[in-house]
Structure 1
Amino acid sequence: MDTSSTEGNMDTDGDISSVMGFSGFGKKARTFDLGSIFEETRRTAIERSRHTLDVRQKEMGASGECSSHAPVQKDTEKKASRKEDVDSSSSDSELVGPMPPRKDSNQEEDHDLVGPPVPFDYEATQSDSEDDEEDEDDDDNPVKKIPDSHEITLVHGTKVVSAMALDPSGARLVTGGYDFDVRFWDFAGMDRALNSFRTIQPCDCHQIRALQYSITGDRILVVSGNAQAKVLDRDGFNKMECIKGDQYIVDMVNTKGHTAMLNDGCWHPKMKEEFMTCSNDGTVRTWDVNSEKNHKCVFKPRSVQGKKVTPTCCTYSRDGKLIAAGCQDGTIQIWDRNLSVHTKFHCRQAHSSGSDISRLSFSYDGTVLASRGGDDTLKIWDIRNFRKPLHMADGLTNYFAMTDCCFSPDDQLVVTGTSVKKDEGNGKLVFFDRKTFKQVYEIEVTNGSVVRCLWHPKLNQIMVGTANGQVKVYYDPIKSHRGAKLCVVKSKIKEKHAEALTQEYVITPHALPMFREARQRSTRKQLEKDRLDPKKSRKPEPPVSGPGRGGRVAAHGGTLSSFIVKNIALDKTDDSNAREAILRHAKEASENPYWVAPAYKKTQPNPVFAEDSEEDEEAEKEPEWKKRKI
């Protein structure tokens, strides 16, 4: 290092500091002598390697008894050497190079042990490796990933739960049914009572056919039994209603909206403003939320003869480029979203002719389509070869036009529900392996048909809507996240009873001071005062003890009604003839007068009655027809 240049720089710094008026430029930078650092590091490495060689030679030359203690001595020496290295490195703060190895707590504990080393257990190691392989097999087994160890029940009503949807984050669940109600469930706000926080009837007296959240979770599509779909906001307020078309126009392309009952609907998976509906008028229409006066595009399913066919379900592909519709004649028709005239894929005999296809669902990779038919079958199709199904499962009873099927989040399982008649068994949730399409698992849900099923990928929880008005939520405390786990840990909130004890406060600002009522400052204190007042609190009267007081009768049960029943209702006298009942007391009234006669007893004159004359006697002897009429 050039000392002259260093001195020149120091002089220059001093001149600049004197000119600018301060003592210096602050703390000087630390300098390092790299040559000495490298030399010291090389010496330390050589000493460490020599020490290691000496220890190995001692171990190889020692006897059997000494060899049993050699590992302890070796470890002790290693420990000491490591401590010396750490001390040297900590004392020399200017050391440059890699940090010394960190001390292992397990090794230190082993170093403190005195005795022969633990022999190597080959069987234990082999069993551990087998356990690891079993764990890996469990990870690969899709059945182990089904979250069904715990469940909760949400009561929607008494009728079929025909629609169900979860928002993308999994915080809220909406359910709709044949009872025209749409219920909102908030997992974070619910307690163990599991009550919905809002219930509405958005479509009046029309059954709810489908519900779905948009990709952003701020809108809900409501498809009901009428011809107009509705869009609600997150809290259930109406945002948009589709227009109804003219039912007298033959060509459905020339109408602005649907003219018959809706069957299904869904949101576009990429565009938050677009959704799709299908109807009994034979069309599948796409809509824009911002223009409710007209549809965007119309797709018309056709049969082999070119006749109109009713679509029963519709869905988008995962990328939103394809639109698929299942029809009443058992066909599956798929269009390109931008080409509405001709179908891109078409399978004429996907399901039995005349059977309604209840659900179409694309896999997460977008290459496989699952279809649930009204002919009690479940099929999966390869979009690239759409002539024959890849696999098929039959014997899955289906009584509803909206029975679901879906894929698991890892795309390895296909899930659907089965229907049962009333009191003839339990509805089941059936799981099939996607590759082999063998039934690998099933869950008995309830004594009713399983209509809707939904497996949320973020929550890893399964929602099941049944025909008896219940929604089952299956989850696993370890594999699942949030959702039902948030509400089952909360205790029930005690309901606060409404007490109408306080009088209504009438505000009279211009009343005289002597008539003005004091304003209530605290409602709680007033409630406590009124609680002590028996009249304001309407305190029930205590039971009467003894013979009775205050007009209350204590005998025969202590109530007036019991006294009347005992003394009057059980009286055996017959008062059906009023005249006989009065004359029964005539003799006693004449002998012992009580009301009128005693008042005039002293002043009443003796009665004088006229005596019978001879004319009267003769008149009595005359016949009736000769008597003079008076």
Structure 2
Amino acid sequence: MEQQEEDRDQTSGTAGNDADIASVMGFSGFGKKARTFDLDAIFEQTRRTAIERSQKVMEQQEMKEAEKQKQALMRGDSHAGKASVSGGKGHPAMSSSRAQSDNSSSSDSEDDSEDKLIGPPPPGQLSSRRAAEEDEEFVGPPLPPGYKDSDEEEDEGEDDNPVKRIPDTHEITLQHGTKTVSALGLDPSGARLVTGGYDYDVKFWDFAGMDSALQAFRCLQPCECHQIRSLQYSITGDVILVVSGNSQAKILDRDGFQVIECVKGDQYIVDMANTKGHTAMLNSGCWHPKIKEEFLTCSNDGTVRTWDITNEKKHKNVFKPRSMQGKRVIPTSCTYSRDGKLIAAGCQDGTIQIWDKNLSVHTKFHCRQAHIPGSDPSCLTFSYDGTVLASRGGDDTLKTWDMRNFKKPLNVATGLSSFFPMTDCCFSPDDKLLMTGTSVKKGAGNGTLVFFDRLTFQKVYEIEVASSSVVRCLWHPKLNQIMVGTGNGLAKVYYDPIKSQRGAKLCVVKSQRKEKQAESLTQDYIITPHALPMFREARQRSTRKQLEKDRLDPMKSHKPEPPVSGPGRGGRVAMHGGTLSSFIVKNIALDKTDDSNPREAILRHAKEASENPYWVAPAYTRTQPEPVFAEEELDDEEADKEPQWKKRKI
């Protein structure tokens, strides 16, 4: 008690000192006091609420137990007759029922003892969270066994049905050109799309920088007059691999400037392994999925080569596909496995050959009759789990292969027409669907994008894209958007506002920018900064206002008369072009009716001109001096009589 009184005196003294200092310094106080919490009261309150909620839970459990006992008693009454007959006077049955009741009471007491709180209550946050969970568990009557919430049904339906995840509710169309879009590439972040086509152009599209006009921000021809066959961003998105119809692949940066160009091999060397590069047209190419400096190309020279971006003067490794007879075979498509350890090539004789990346001589997997010979497989792609390989053949088929049993295909889909040597197929991001495009002849229908279930290989969905073939398709896993290249120069992007992210959603919401008119000064002005406003001449800043004024002027806006055709009208002559020169040539130069002397024809007007001057003489009457003519020459006798100074000097 004495200690408490001393503490109170100290606190009162400090409070008095604070008040004195505040009054001296001229303000009311030293700010707000810190909040104090009574922890004992808080713990007591949380303990009471926890006990009350636990009591409610116990009451509900007791009610359930009572209902169960009633049901058990009802069942026991129904069997009581049989029990009494079998048990004589019924003492054994009674003893058994008593034993059951004793067991039930002992179990109830055990449950009650378990439900009682032992020890200090948990902290307020944990106890309140546990109580909230218990309330959520026991609130309301029990639901029927077959009942499901609507949201849960939608979620489960979407999980079970991968078709609902296809983002095809909205689409935008990018006009690449008028010829086939034969290459598509999207960077890993999904910010930029690059398209290439048979018109040799490569166009860059920036989703964040585009507006609803959907115009490409750059167009170039990196390979001159060669068709673009493949475009792909590296795994870091900083460079682009360009594979065209020539023998040299190129690497461009994000803005389209060339980084490297692969070297061309010596076409006069028989063994293609001894050349430094490809010697024939390229067919396909792709980047390594793990190593950002390595990429892969295949060519008509019968080789598949790996390259390093740091060494453009020579390839890294060479893989040579061989037929059953050991002859050279042309690879038409190539790809890496998802882990980058395998290299697969689809060849012209219908075979699929797969090598280990570090062993380039013998194949690791080889399927001799994967597709019809001479059908040119157009695409090979691995599933995201790396166990399944999908091949798109030129024989109008789509097949899947299990890498653990590569002798025969898992599934085959037929009737998928393909007219282009780069028709794509790809897996969905969840690895449950397989997508490819179909080709159509001109005016024979619409090209479609077909979706197959990976396990059952049933056609589960189809999208009609355009009145032309579907050549390229790409399903970006990060954006969840589908890019499609068609045979009539269009690149379409399918997306869903809810399921998709960024990409096309960024540019469709932006309004088109107004076109800036070309403004230029019509003439130079001398600007005097200190001149008075009344003497200042209006400065003409653009030609637009001047054009508007000229349009209001009836003389300047008068439409010039068109040239006269036919015999002429309105006094205009049109026989020889209707011009002044043609009129003079016709009437004067070509007039041959006067056969007289031309000197006489000119001098016949001299008398009239001298008597009645009209043109020249009246204009010079005031300023022209009197004409003085030389006198007639004298005879020799008269000339001798003249003084010396009058004689003319000869």
Task: Report % sequence identity.
Answer: 64
C-alpha offsets along residues 405-427 of structure 1, whole Å, 9 cap, x if unaligned? 00000011110001111111111
Asked if residue 153 in structure 1 is aligned to residue 179 in structure 2, the reply is: no
Of 554, 567, 570 in structure 2, the residue corresponding to residue 567 of structure 1 is 570
CA contact (8 A) 2:522 2:542 kept: no
Asked if residue 599 in structure 1 is aligned to residue 602 in structure 2, the reply is: no
Asked if residue 98 in structure 1 is aligned to residue 108 in structure 2, the reply is: no
Name the aligned partner's letter for residue 540 of structure 2: D
Q: Could you say if the C-alpha distance between residues 412 and 571 of structure 1 is closer, same or farther in structure 2, counting changes exceeding 3 Å?
A: closer
CA contact (8 A) 2:380 2:390 kept: yes
CA contact (8 A) 2:349 2:373 kept: yes
Name the aligned partner's letter for residue 377 of structure 2: I
> Structure 2 matches for 1:154-233, cutoff 5 A?
154-233=174-253
C-alpha offsets along residues 497-528 of structure 1, whole Å, 9 cap, x if unaligned? 111225479xxxxxxxxxx9779xxxxxx998
CA contact (8 A) 1:502 1:536 kept: no
Of 386, 396, 401 in structure 1, the residue corresponding to residue 406 of structure 2 is 386
C-alpha offsets along residues 309-339 of structure 1, whole Å, 9 cap, x if unaligned? 0000100000000000000000000000000
Of 379, 382, 398 in structure 2, the residue corresponding to residue 362 of structure 1 is 382
Under a length normalisation based on structure 1, what TM-score does the superposition of the two structures give? 0.70
Under a length normalisation based on structure 2, what TM-score does the superposition of the two structures give? 0.68
SS in structure 2 opposite 1:158?
coil
Give the number of the structure whose alpha-carbon radius of gyration is greater.
2
CA contact (8 A) 2:335 2:381 kept: yes
SS in structure 2 opposite 1:137?
helix
Name the aligned partner's letter for residue 570 of structure 2: N
CA apart distance, 1:171: 0.2
Q: Distance in 2 between matches of 1:261 and 1:139?
A: 45
Aligned length: 498
Q: Distance in 2 between matches of 1:326 and 1:53?
A: 70
What residue is the counterpart of 1:301 in the other structure?
321
Structure 1: unaligned runs, 5 residues or longer: 8-26, 58-94, 106-118, 506-515, 520-525, 545-551, 587-592, 604-630
Of 497, 514, 529 in structure 2, the residue corresponding to residue 477 of structure 1 is 497
What residue is the counterpart of 2:452 in the other structure?
432
Name the aligned partner's letter for residue 247 of structure 2: A
Name the aligned partner's letter for residue 473 of structure 1: V
What residue is the counterpart of 1:530 in the other structure?
540
Q: Distance in 1 between matches of 2:538 and 2:382?
A: 63
CA apart distance, 1:38: 7.7
What residue is the counterpart of 2:22 in the other structure?
none
Q: Distance in 2 between matches of 1:534 and 1:273?
A: 54
Of 477, 480, 490 in structure 2, the residue corresponding to residue 457 of structure 1 is 477
SS in structure 2 opposite 1:330?
coil
What residue is the counterpart of 2:15 in the other structure?
none
Q: Distance in 1 between matches of 2:54 and 2:155?
A: 42
Q: Distance in 1 between matches of 2:295 and 2:430?
A: 26
Name the aligned partner's letter for residue 220 of structure 2: I
Q: Distance in 1 between matches of 2:569 and 2:37?
A: 116
SS in structure 1 opposite 2:491?
strand
Structure 2: unaligned runs, 5 residues or longer: 8-32, 63-120, 133-139, 530-535, 596-602, 614-650
> Structure 2 matches for 1:38-53, cutoff 5 A?
none
Of 344, 347, 351 in structure 2, the residue corresponding to residue 331 of structure 1 is 351
Q: Could you say if the C-alpha distance between residues 585 and 406 of structure 1 is closer, same or farther in structure 2, counting changes exceeding 3 Å?
A: same
SS in structure 1 opposite 2:451?
strand
CA apart distance, 1:561: 4.8
Q: Distance in 1 between matches of 2:43 and 2:147?
A: 49
CA contact (8 A) 2:426 2:474 kept: yes
What residue is the counterpart of 1:12 in the other structure?
none
SS in structure 1 opposite 2:324?
coil
CA contact (8 A) 2:521 2:543 kept: no
Q: Distance in 1 between matches of 2:301 and 2:156?
A: 53
Of 246, 251, 257 in structure 1, the residue corresponding to residue 277 of structure 2 is 257
CA apart distance, 1:599: 2.5
Name the aligned partner's letter for residue 487 of structure 1: C
Q: Could you say if the C-alpha distance between residues 98 and 287 of structure 1 is closer, same or farther in structure 2, counting changes exceeding 3 Å?
A: same
CA apart distance, 1:600: 3.5
Asked if residue 144 in structure 1 is aligned to residue 164 in structure 2, the reply is: yes
Q: Distance in 1 between matches of 2:537 and 2:417?
A: 60
CA contact (8 A) 2:229 2:283 kept: yes
SS in structure 2 opposite 1:567?
coil
What residue is the counterpart of 1:288 in the other structure?
308
CA contact (8 A) 1:311 1:325 kept: yes
Q: Could you say if the C-alpha distance between residues 475 and 97 of structure 1 is closer, same or farther in structure 2, counting changes exceeding 3 Å?
A: closer
CA contact (8 A) 1:543 1:558 kept: no
Q: Distance in 1 between matches of 2:429 and 2:396?
A: 24
Q: Could you say if the C-alpha distance between residues 180 and 98 of structure 1 is closer, same or farther in structure 2, counting changes exceeding 3 Å?
A: same
What residue is the counterpart of 1:352 in the other structure?
372
Of 445, 454, 458 in structure 1, the residue corresponding to residue 465 of structure 2 is 445
> Structure 2 matches for 1:609-628, cutoff 5 A?
none
CA contact (8 A) 2:483 2:491 kept: yes
SS in structure 2 opposite 1:493?
coil
SS in structure 2 opposite 1:529?
coil
Greater mean deviation of Cα atoms: 129-138 or 251-260: 129-138
SS in structure 1 opposite 2:474?
strand
Q: Could you say if the C-alpha distance between residues 165 and 566 of structure 1 is closer, same or farther in structure 2, counting changes exceeding 3 Å?
A: same
What residue is the counterpart of 2:92 in the other structure?
none
SS in structure 1 opposite 2:550?
coil
CA contact (8 A) 2:43 2:124 kept: no
C-alpha offsets along residues 178-231 of structure 1, whole Å, 9 cap, x if unaligned? 111111000000000100001111111111111100000001001111111111
Name the aligned partner's letter for residue 98 of structure 1: G
CA apart distance, 1:465: 0.3
CA contact (8 A) 2:211 2:510 kept: yes
SS in structure 2 opposite 1:486?
helix
Name the aligned partner's letter for residue 393 of structure 1: A
CA apart distance, 1:154: 0.4
CA apart distance, 1:139: 3.0
Q: Distance in 2 between matches of 1:287 and 1:442?
A: 38
Name the aligned partner's letter for residue 481 of structure 2: Q
SS in structure 2 opposite 1:209?
strand
Greater mean deviation of Cα atoms: 421-430 or 130-139: 130-139
What residue is the counterpart of 1:501 in the other structure?
521
CA apart distance, 1:261: 0.7
SS in structure 1 opposite 2:540?
helix
